[in-house]
Amino acid sequence: MSVVIYHNPRCSKSRQTLQLIEEKGVEPEVILYLETPPAVEELKDIIAKLGISPRELLRKKEAKEAGLNDDSLSDDELIKGMIANPRTIERPIVVKEEKAVLGRPPENVLDLL
Tally of domains within the chain: 2
- Residue 81's pLDDT is 98
Which amino acid appears at position 14 of this protein? Answer: S
Same domain, 101 and 69: no
CATH number at residue 53: 3.40.30.10
- Residue 12's pLDDT is 96
Same domain, 6 and 45: no
User: Which residues of 55-102 form beta strands (DSSP E)?
Assistant: 93-96, 99-102
Same domain, 53 and 72: yes
Same domain, 46 and 14: no
In the residue annotation, 11 being an active-site residue is answered as yes
- Residue 1's pLDDT is 62
- Residue 104's pLDDT is 93
Query: In which residue ranges of the chain is pLDDT below 70?
Result: 1
Same domain, 43 and 85: yes
- Structural domain containing residue 83: 39-89
Same domain, 95 and 85: no
Same domain, 85 and 52: yes
* Among 4, 8, 10, 11, the one annotated catalytic: 11
**Entry pTM:** 0.95
DSSP result, 10-50: T-HHHHHHHHHHHHTT--PEEEETTTSPPPHHHHHHHHHHH
